[in-house]
């Protein structure tokens, strides 16, 4: 991969395409060209990547794909893997954002560190490449950053789980609780089929509300939720306890 090359995205939807470009080294070698429009007003204006794609050499799996220990698994417990420290160090913590008392876990600095970003994707790909995942469901908005490159690398389709009135087609909705009030998550009808094996991905688990809503949406269409995966967990908020027994895999603990 060339150094000093950046991909800028202006909206949640554009992240899906920008991350595909940024994650090109993770794709199978047979996929050597990616094209996508760079603006809504000029659909004929395309960015095309036609470079040989570099594939990481196979690395050991950081955890077994089976067993009850999966329910409470955190990759940071593996002190032998230097990638985890690199990932943790690349995440910036901003106090009192977006309101006093919140320690915001800012993954934008992780995205600026190409090595740490690649390590993040690699760790997830190593875990899921042999689990027959057919759907990667990304939770808006930062699940759109990590989900597409993982889906492309393991040969699964990517399905965005969006906030209300963001998807243009027919949707199914699931309401979930916030600290004050409620919100909804939506998914396109027909995007996920009965029997699909789904991975739910987000950047962080706090109280677990959005992951629970994603699980319910997928189970309503009779998909099998294999696991939920997040880069960061805030353990003190006990979000994993709300996942109705679904396995959760996390890379690092929040500061």
Residues with a known catalytic role: 142, 179
Q: CA–CA separation, 88 vs 249, rounded Å?
A: 15
Q: What is the CA radius of gyration of the chain?
A: 18
The rounded Cα 91 to chain-centroid distance in angstroms is 15
- CB under 8 Å to 133, separation ≥6 — which residues? 154, 156, 197, 198, 199, 226
**Closest to 203 measured CA to CA, from 99, 73, 58, 106:** 106
Q: CA–CA separation, 36 vs 19, rounded Å?
A: 12
Contact indicator for 29, 55 with CB cutoff of 8 Å: yes
């Amino acid at each position: 991969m060339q150094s000093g090359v950046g991909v800028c995205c202006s909206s949640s939807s554009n992240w899906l395409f920008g991350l595909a470009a940024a994650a090109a080294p993770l794709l199978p070698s047979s996929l050597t060209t990616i094209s996508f429009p760079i603006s809504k007003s000029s659909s004929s204006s395309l960015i095309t990547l036609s470079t040989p794609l570099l594939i990481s050499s196979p690395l050991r799996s950081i955890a077994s794909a089976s067993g009850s220990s999966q329910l409470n698994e955190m990759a940071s417990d593996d002190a032998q893997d230097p990638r985890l420290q690199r990932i943790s160090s690349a995440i910036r913590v901003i106090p009192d954002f977006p309101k006093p008392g919140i320690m915001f876990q800012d993954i934008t600095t992780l995205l600026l560190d190409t090595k740490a970003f690649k390590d993040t994707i690699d760790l997830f790909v190593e875990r899921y490449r042999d689990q027959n995942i057919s759907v990667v469901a990304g939770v808006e908005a930062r699940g759109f950053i990590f989900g597409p490159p993982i889906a492309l690398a393991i040969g699964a389709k990517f399905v965005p789980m969006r906030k209300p009135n963001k998807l243009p087609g027919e949707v199914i909705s699931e309401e979930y609780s916030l600290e004050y009030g409620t919100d909804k998550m939506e998914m396109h009808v027909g995007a996920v089929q009965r029997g699909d094996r789904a991975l739910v991905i987000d950047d962080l688990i706090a109280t677990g509300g959005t992951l629970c809503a994603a699980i319910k949406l997928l189970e309503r269409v009779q998909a099998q939720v294999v696991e939920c995966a997040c880069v960061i967990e805030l353990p003190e908020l006990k979000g994993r306890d709300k996942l109705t027994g679904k396995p959760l895999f996390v890379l690092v603990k929040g500061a």
